[in-house]
């Protein structure tokens, strides 16, 4: 039986444990050039020292206007590669593997003068009115994802995650609430996603896994349900996704009656459903920072990996402390051994 500290392998990627640092924007690129700073280096390398098996670098955008804010990371230029490579190399030296979440914020790009989206529908009255991408521009966007993936490979990442959740561009194309196009990208709501997956896969070494974060359900009235998302995930799996990272929502304000609880593991049933329907590895996320709960998610075969977000912001050594609490063997940095 597997537990939180059982190694995990997927294609050429082998993790020392099942603990993943969930991607979390730091909004810390002061120069607005998309280049990772000393903050990013210290932040991510600390979690590698703290024992996480896989670190997923925050939402990193394929063009300047694809950022949530001008302080986000980018991968639209080769100039972004060296600072990311420095982080990857340092995390490797501390025994962690590293992925990067490639994304475009679409209509949720708050600092773009005119954000772009599948259709010209604003997120809400406080957000800017986006402009609908032309069909040629959508095809150009697929190429931007391809170019970003190529740069991520050059930076030495072990895996790539596409951000298909939380109301950003890939999710916007998948949702009937935000995609009301009449071209091929609207008639088939998964078409943009599958085109991006094909393009990105063409740049990845054969043995490098491609992961994708999905919002398994939408909460807003008229949004898609779990069964619909499972069908979308099948198309993405067929196109080449090797693992799904299962989240939910982000498409808009949630009506009070549909608001999910903030209790531990609230999104685990969604991860389990996708794992069972598709027979594919999944990552669960959302209030899993109680080590016993995180361990049970793996032990009960609900998910293969457990992503920790805010728990790892509070405590960079969450994984080392979880090992102590669960009485599991893990390698403690020798400099810290007297503390354990
Ligand atoms: C500060 C912060 C930034 C986040 N940025 C991202 C992001 O870049 N990409 C993403 O997919 N999710 C992002 N999230 C969501 C987290 O990855 C995670 O899914 C969420 O916080 C639930 O997990 P938790 O309960 O362990 O924090 C962010 C969350 C926080 C708190």
**What pairs with residue 284 in β-bridges?**
246, 306
Residue 195, CB half-sphere, CA atoms under 13 Å: how many? Answer: 19
- Residues with CB under 6 Å of ligand 1 are 22-25, 58-59, 101, 163, 165-166, 213, 247, 285-289, 308-311
Phi and psi for 73 in degrees, rounded to 5?
A: -75, 155
Which tokens in the block code for residue 168?
């950003």
Which tokens in the block code for residue 222?
């008229």
Ligand 1 center to 23 CA (angstroms): 6
Q: What is the pLDDT of residue 325?
A: 98
Residue 278 CA to residue 235 CA, distance in Å, equals 10
For residue 312, give the ligand 1 atom closest to its CA: 26
**What pairs with residue 283 in β-bridges?**
245, 305
Ligand 1 center to 166 CA (angstroms): 10
For residue 163, give the ligand 1 atom closest to its CA: 11
Among 21, 24, 36, 66, which is best to mutate for testing ligand 1, by the most ligand atoms less than 8 A from CB?
24
Does residue 337 contact residue 49 with C-beta atoms inside 8 Å?
no
Does residue 272 contact residue 296 with C-beta atoms inside 8 Å?
no
Ligand 1 center to 204 CA (angstroms): 25
Residues in the chain, total: 340
Ligand 1 center to 337 CA (angstroms): 30
User: Quick one: which H or E segment has residue 221?
Assistant: none
User: pTM to 2 decimals?
Assistant: 0.98
Close Cβ partners of 10 (under 8 Å, ≥ 6 residues apart) = 159, 209, 242, 243, 281
Residue 132 CA to residue 250 CA, distance in Å, equals 20
User: Quick one: which H or E segment has residue 284?
Assistant: strand 282-285
Q: What is the pLDDT of residue 262?
A: 79
For residue 310, give the ligand 1 atom closest to its CA: 27
Ligand 1 center to 135 CA (angstroms): 31
Q: Whose CA is nearest to atom 29 of ligand 1?
A: 24
Ligand 1 center to 22 CA (angstroms): 6
DSSP calls for 107-122: GG-SSSSS-EESSS--
Residues 270-288: tens digit of each pLDDT: 999 999 999 999 999 999 9
For residue 247, give the ligand 1 atom closest to its CA: 19
Q: Whose CA is nearest to atom 14 of ligand 1?
A: 24
Q: Which domains does the chain have, with CATH numbers?
A: 8-339 (3.20.20.70)
For residue 59, give the ligand 1 atom closest to its CA: 8
Give per-10-residue mean pLDDT for the chain (340 aa): 97 98 98 98 98 98 98 98 98 98 98 98 97 98 98 98 98 98 98 98 98 97 97 98 98 84 92 98 98 98 98 98 96 95
Close Cβ partners of 127 (under 8 Å, ≥ 6 residues apart) = 107, 108, 110, 115
Ligand 1 center to 155 CA (angstroms): 23
Residues 135-194: tens digit of each pLDDT: 999 999 999 999 999 999 999 999 999 999 999 999 999 999 999 999 999 999 999 999
DSSP state of 180: -
Ligand 1 center to 38 CA (angstroms): 21
């Amino acid at each position: 039986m597997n537990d939180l500290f059982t190694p995990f392998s997927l294609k050429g990627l082998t993790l020392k444990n099942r603990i993943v640092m969930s991607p979390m924007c730091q909004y810390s690129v002061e120069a607005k050039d998309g280049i990772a700073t000393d903050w990013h280096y210290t932040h991510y390398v600390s979690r590698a020292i703290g024992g996480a098996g896989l670190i997923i670098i925050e939402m990193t955008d394929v063009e300047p206007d694809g950022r949530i804010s001008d302080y986000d990371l980018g991968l639209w230029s080769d100039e972004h590669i060296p600072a990311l490579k420095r982080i990857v190399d340092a995390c490797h030296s501390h025994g962690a593997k590293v992925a990067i979440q490639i994304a475009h914020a679409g209509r949720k790009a708050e600092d773009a003068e005119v954000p772009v989206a599948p259709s010209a529908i604003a997120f809400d009255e406080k957000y800017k009115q986006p402009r609908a991408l032309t069909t040629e521009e959508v095809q150009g966007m697929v190429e931007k994802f391809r170019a970003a993936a190529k740069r991520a490979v050059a930076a030495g990442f072990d895996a790539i995650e596409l951000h298909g959740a939380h109301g950003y561009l890939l999710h916007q194309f998948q949702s009937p609430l935000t995609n009301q196009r009449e071209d091929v990208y609207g008639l088939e709501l998964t078409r943009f996603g599958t085109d991006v997956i094909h393009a990105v896969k063409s740049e990845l070494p054969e043995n490098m896994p491609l992961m994708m974060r999905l919002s398994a359900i939408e909460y807003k009235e008229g949004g898609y349900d779990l069964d619909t998302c499972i069908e979308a995930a099948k198309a993405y799996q067929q196109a080449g996704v090797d693992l799904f990272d299962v989240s939910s929502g982000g498409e808009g304000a949630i009506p009070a009656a549909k608001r999910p609880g903030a209790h531990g593991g609230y999104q685990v049933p969604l991860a389990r459903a996708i794992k069972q329907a598709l027979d594919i590895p999944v990552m669960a996320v959302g209030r899993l920072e109680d080590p016993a709960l995180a361990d049970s998610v793996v032990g009960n075969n609900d998910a293969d990996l457990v992503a920790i977000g805010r728990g790892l912001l509070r405590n960079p050594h969450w994984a080392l402390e979880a090992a102590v609490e669960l009485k599991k063997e893990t390698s403690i940095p020798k400099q810290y051994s007297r503390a354990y």
